[in-house]
């Protein structure tokens, strides 16, 4: 799949570099859904919740009535995951809470899977300089992504793996790393971070890896028309309602 991304901060659609520096603002969330018509899934990240500076629940709930969305950002408790599920998220993306400094928090993930259901959970396995990073990519663990995917499989439907080293930098991504991850799990795998060219998108799709796209789309480096041309003809369009605010 090709998955366009909507990142929310202060009620606005934004794009950050390295998860911190705001590079640009997008259009109203409804307008972004209009632009993303035809893509089966939209990824929504609540950056305020991730940074523990509030939340954008009302926008998330509204978007969930208009499209099939996967939602992450600040999901550090089972209760937060349940809230997002109640708001209508098709999948809930869990990152920081899945890991301790040197291991997987299986007790937390087991309870999360019991109460929300593994089919609705995507685990974010984000890496910088070869190590899994948490808390807005500011803290590094001792773990490497390829080593823990099998351990995480019972608790989720798939993985969102961000190559943080190039996130938002428009400098390309590490296809070899994603190929390594593809070999490490049979679960759904979504790549993010630095994906800049159609060649990279095609290469990921050929690996059976989905591509989550942000900065390259918002800056026009990747056109939505060229990306739609890569969608399977049999793909079902998302349920996007009237986008009038």
pLDDT for residue 184:
95
pLDDT of 197 above 80: yes
Write down all domains in the chain, each with its CATH number in brackets: 2-228 (3.20.20.70)
Q: Which among 126, 165, 208, 242 is annotated as catalytic?
A: 126
Catalytic-residue membership of 7? yes
Q: Across residues 101-122, what is the average pLDDT? A: 94
| Structure confidence by residue, pLDDT tens digits, 213-224 | 998 999 899 999
Active site residue 126: yes
SS3 of residue 165 by DSSP: helix
**Tens digit of each residue's pLDDT (9 = 90 or more) over 118-163:** 999 999 998 887 788 877 667 777 888 999 999 999 999 999 999 8
Q: SS3 of 120, please? A: helix
Q: Which pTM value belongs to this model?
A: 0.88
User: Would the pLDDT of 236 be above 50?
Assistant: no
- Mean pLDDT calculated for residue range 89-96: 94
């Amino acid at each position: 799949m090709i998955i366009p991304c909507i990142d929310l901060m202060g009620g606005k659609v934004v794009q950050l570099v390295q998860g911190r520096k705001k590079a640009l603002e997008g259009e109203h969330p409804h307008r972004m859904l209009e632009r993303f018509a035809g893509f089966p899934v939209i990824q929504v990240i609540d950056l305020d919740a991730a940074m523990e500076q509030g939340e954008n629940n009302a926008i998330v709930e509204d978007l969930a009535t208009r499209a099939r969305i996967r939602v992450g950002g600040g999901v550090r408790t089972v209760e937060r995951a349940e809230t997002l599920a109640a708001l209508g998220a098709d999948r809930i993306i869990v990152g920081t809470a899945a890991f301790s400094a040197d291991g997987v928090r299986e007790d937390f993930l087991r309870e999360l899977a019991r109460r929300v259901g593994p089919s609705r959970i995507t685990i974010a396995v984000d890496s910088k300089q070869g190590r899994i990073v948490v808390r807005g990519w500011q803290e590094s663990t001792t773990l490497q992504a390829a080593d823990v995917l099998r351990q995480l499989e019972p608790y989720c439907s798939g993985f969102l793996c961000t190559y943080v080293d190039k996130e938002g930098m428009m400098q390309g991504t590490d296809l070899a790393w994603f190929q390594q991850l593809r070999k490490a799990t049979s679960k759904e795998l979504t790549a993010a971070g630095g994906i800049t060219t159609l060649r990279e998108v095609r290469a990921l799709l050929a690996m059976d890896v989905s591509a989550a796209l942000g900065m390259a789309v918002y800056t026009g480096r990747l056109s939505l028309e060229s990306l739609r041309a890569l969608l399977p003809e049999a793909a079902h369009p998302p349920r996007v309602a009237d986008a009038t605010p």
